[in-house]
Amino acid sequence: MREAEIWRLLAANLLCALSIVLAAVLPAVFLDGFSVLGTHLTWLCVCSVCVATLNIILHLVLKPNQSPKRRSFAHKISRFLKCCIYFFMSCILFHAIIVLYGAPVIESVTETFLFAVLLSTFTTLQCLCLLGPNIQAWIRVFSKNGAMSIWESSLQITSMCSILGAWFGAFPIPLDWDRPWQV
């Protein structure tokens, strides 16, 4: 059983990586003048939508945390609405953190917010798909040695690497604002 779960997790992560690559390559076929660097806002939107759609589909297909309880339709709707609210709140929180770390408040608000959405897609959306809007489960998973399954361990690693990767990618930027390519 554990080996089958490892293969399912590997397939899910490979599909997620493939969706990021396709988000960089496929729009160039359909959109005139598309490039990841030249039209970065479009790419942020496309990448967020691709990864979010794939995460939701994989969650529905693979069902890594299948609950034996049957829930009512009203409970499922309220759970979905809570997840939407949590995702939006995480976008706002990441946006505020990015601004506190030095992003321009007024000049690049669209770029900053789309980056916050992308970061929320890689962190919060996966948590919502796997754990739902249960804050106690989130605390359990992200506390010391709290992951109880391979899916939760992967969730810890993916979320922490996404946040650290965003920070490590941004911290050297203020070091050389005098370069012409940064203007």
- Looking at the chain, which runs of residues are DSSP E strands? none
pLDDT at 66: 60
9: exposed, middle or buried (C-beta count within 10 Å: 0-12, 13-18, 19+)? Answer: middle
In contact, 168 and 160? CB cutoff 8 Å:
no
Across the range 64-85, mean pLDDT stands at 79
Residue 181: pLDDT over 70: no
pLDDT at 68: 60
- The reply to whether 108 falls in a domain is yes
- Taking the C-alpha atoms of residue 78 and residue 66, their distance in angstroms, rounded to an integer, is 18
Nearest to 101 by CA among 84, 81, 122, 116: 116
- The reply to whether 29 falls in a domain is yes
Amino acid at 55: N
- The reply to whether 182 falls in a domain is no
- Taking the C-alpha atoms of residue 116 and residue 118, their distance in angstroms, rounded to an integer, is 5
- The reply to whether 176 falls in a domain is no
In contact, 46 and 27? CB cutoff 8 Å:
yes
- The reply to whether 181 falls in a domain is no
Residue 183: pLDDT over 60: no
For residue 63, the 8-state DSSP code is -
- The reply to whether 27 falls in a domain is yes
- Taking the C-alpha atoms of residue 86 and residue 84, their distance in angstroms, rounded to an integer, is 5
The domain total for the chain is 1
Per the prediction, the chain carries an average pLDDT of: 82
Half-sphere exposure of 116 (CA within 13 A, CB side): 22
CA dist 23 → 47, 113, 127, 141 (Å): 5, 19, 22, 30
pLDDT tens for 153-167 read: 888 888 888 889 888
- The reply to whether 81 falls in a domain is yes
Q: pTM of the full predicted structure? A: 0.79
- Taking the C-alpha atoms of residue 18 and residue 15, their distance in angstroms, rounded to an integer, is 5
Tokens of 154: 């992967």
- The reply to whether 178 falls in a domain is no
pLDDT tens for 136-149 read: 888 888 887 677 88
Residue 90: pLDDT over 90: yes
| Domain around 91 | 1-65+73-170
- End-to-end CA gap in the chain: 54
- Taking the C-alpha atoms of residue 160 and residue 154, their distance in angstroms, rounded to an integer, is 10
pLDDT at 179: 62
pLDDT at 59: 81
- Taking the C-alpha atoms of residue 58 and residue 18, their distance in angstroms, rounded to an integer, is 13
pLDDT at 143: 84
pLDDT at 81: 92
Residue 40: pLDDT over 90: no
Helices (H) and strands (E) in the chain, counts: 7, 0
